[in-house]
Chains A and B, each alone.
Chain A
Amino acid sequence: MTNAWTDIKNTDLVVVMGGNAAEAHPCGFKWVTEAKANRGAKLIVVDPRYTRTASVSDFYAPIRQGTDISFLNGVIKYCIENNKVQWEYTKAFTNASYIVKDGFSYQDGLFTGYDEEKRDYDRESWDYVIGDDGFAVVDPSLQHPRCVWNLLKEHVAIYTPEFVERVCGTPKAKFLKICEMIAECSTPTKTMTSLYALGWTQHSSGAQNIRAMAMLQLILGNIGVQGGGMNALRGHSNIQGLTDLGLMSNLIPGYLNIPTEMEENFGSYMSTRQFKPLRPGQTSYWQNYKKFFVSFQKAMWGNAAQADNDWAYDYLPKLDVPSYDVLRIFELMNEGRVNGYFCQGFNPLLAFPNRAKITSALSKLKWLVTMDPLETETSRFWENHGEYNDVDTKSIQTEVFQLPTTCFAEEAGSLANSGRWLQWHWAGGTPPGEAQHDTWIMGQIFVRLRELYRKEGGAFPDPIVNLAWDYKDPGEPTPEELAKEINGRAIEDLRDPTDVTKVLVPAGKQVLNFSQLRDDGTTLSGCWIYSGNFNENGNNMARRDNHDPGDTGAYLGWTFAWPLNRRTLYNRASCDVNGKPWDPTRKIIEWDGTKWSGFDVPDIAPNAKPQDVGPFIMNQEGVSRLFTRGLMRDGPFPAHYEPFESPVDNVINPKIRGNPVARVFQNDVSQFGTSAEFPYAATSYRLTEHFHYWTKHNRVNAALQPEFFVEISEELAAEKKIERGGWVRVWSKRGSIKAKALVTKRIRPLMCDGKAVHVVGIPLHWGFIGAAKKGWGPNSLAPFVGDANIETPESKAFLVNIEPTTPPSEVVA
């Protein structure tokens, strides 16, 4: 989230698309009802289903899953054509005026530079014209035909209301009504917020769904303001934290990158990370990259990371592919090229697409280690459960360890919520049996592995035996020790560069925050963006002052928000070019002639003159990007592509299947179905009574929603002679499941490109262990393909067939 849950009360319009907050985030959604009740805010819901969020909306429109870009590009076109643009914001705070290279264009559904063989673009032309002074060339009048604004106008021209209706199945009148409501938020004193979740990410064009809305928010002037923003609701309690801390194939904590093998040494790695400003006087904060990287290396390898070994750069793994994401590793596993696998609090047998392939892959492992507080299907993937897990146990040669961990109630530490608040919690219960903290398990595995390498040597032991692990009990680092290391400390006295007699931070003391980190090896910090979380003032994540001066919803004394306790990102953009709030009634910060101050931590240097320094300090431009240069693989503007399995062809270019640069493994090509064989558009979702595959272990939740079902329209039920509550078989090219049919009015057929499209809804909470009845989930059916930029599987849009059937044999028995 750019903003916080508590900030939603400040909005005038909530758009929920790609999410269902009322059911999946109920207590956060109360801030939407707060805004409706107290500000007269309106709520729009666009979703294939009439969800419970829709049931309290002011306006609902249906949309076919996977077509959100067409819808949003259509809204952008409407706003441009009807002059519903926050012009002062757009001109000053976006790259609308930047001139783009002549070579760049878009035609027949593809951008310049497409290589069909490689399924990739040469992105050289997707960039600005750079002038002789080394800066990007701009035309503030927006008259230049090659400026971003004019290219954007051209790009969205095809997304007419008729096009939107044809592709999305959203009736034109409903689409236009939503356009009118959104367009009202182009004034400086009306704001809209976007709430989204997995309904936008689980697509082969997921990242571009979000970009499209971000662009709309920018031209409406809604980023950085109270009640505005792009708000990813996020699915798990610490999914934000795990990402911040870089627990992904290609990341280092704080959004630094694991090197590729093309970056042979530290010099070549840093050469592409200089982040020189693209316009005069801009902050381009990533210019500090080296400070954060070196401080991280010192946290990892202490004294073994020195200037003369490039801070142990060679200890880091170097990638030969963009990432070993979960789809790639399960593909490799299924080819027999992976021997060992750890699942720490993760249930891939129910979470990853194409379950048959996941089972096959796990069966080829030599060993599997699971760590959980609860039983998981993954740890018992080898156990035969009849139709629900029909495996040949004897033939599965995988050795499995199931390790019991504590749960939330039995451990201390912090979680990052979707608003980036790092909230500390305390242990209150005794763990059952021999269950242990994850930190104990990781510590125990590490000290044993280190001991083996110390004694026996082996393949490159250095990064293991030299890992900085100077915790009081190496077998179990405490949460406080780890939190302090994440914050960072001075290794030597940190002296004031302007007066070397003055010590800013004595050796061994915690740094105040990341502004004190250095690139000369005198500081360490595990994750720079979190720095400030636990400094010499104590554990700031444990603060509990719930006062809210100005009633802004900021709660600066409550726990700690990264970065620097800032609650609204880009909040400098809440003021005009001269530093005065666009809406004085919704002031966040303000320029008083010498400095920035207000109700939040300013997202800009406190003394940066508003006329000189742009609000988007992380970007080299100092402004936000309507055109993303070559930073995304599938285009600098979002463009319409169908899901890989779609009931209709891509109307822009029928030859293009799915996202043209999404990675597809050869083994999966034959497992994509066509609409001739699988006519119905399936999607997946959560129910409010359940959380993933956890709550089916709880008696209360299992009683509230005991049994797996699929949701279909009355029209489809009539067409397929399916009875209410009757058993149906649903199958895709990859698997087949049985479920009770829930026949509702919440799903209606959509008219897309001249034909009726029926939607099949599949909730995701059932498996073969727990207190609820046995069942299946959408992952038995979903395709093994991901988003072109970040490989999130396309679990929200795929094709199935459906027919009445008999109950599963176990039910009959």
Chain B
Amino acid sequence: MRFARLTYTAILSGALVWCALILLAPAAASSSGFGPLGSLVYAFFSPLCHQIASRSFHLFGEPLAVCGRCSAIYFGFLAGTIIYPLYRMRKGSPRAPQPGRMYLILSILPVLIDFTLEAAGVYDSSNVIRAATGAWFGVMLPFLIIPGAVEGVSQLFARPKPQAVTPVKGLIDA
């Protein structure tokens, strides 16, 4: 139980910090005196996203640190992580079952279809569609990741409880 809480807290904290950084970039870039900090955060996210301004949502007139699709995935992940304990309580089990490959396919399919059709030039996607499909994937991902991470961390670090030794009467008497 202790490992479950620790793992969940680590994932939630990580997602919070990650999303805060995405918002920090435009906030810093638009404030006078914090420009270099904004540039640093944009540079941090540059290997992870194309950062095309026309495909990004804007805050204070500046684009977010990642594009609309990526933002939706990360913020969706944060929302899913916040919702996850409620789902687990509803299930009435301290460890909710980990979904399998069908769940993964269902969660990633919309974003893959949108991405592939747009890359193939079949249609022009919009920021709203990119964000909606990304958010769908992002919200569903924690329900796959958190049970696995909780179980995995417990398996890696939890020590097996020492088994109670029942004294054998004859041996003790001897």
Answer yes or no: are A and B bound together in one complex.
no
Chain A residues with a Cβ under 8 A of chain B: none
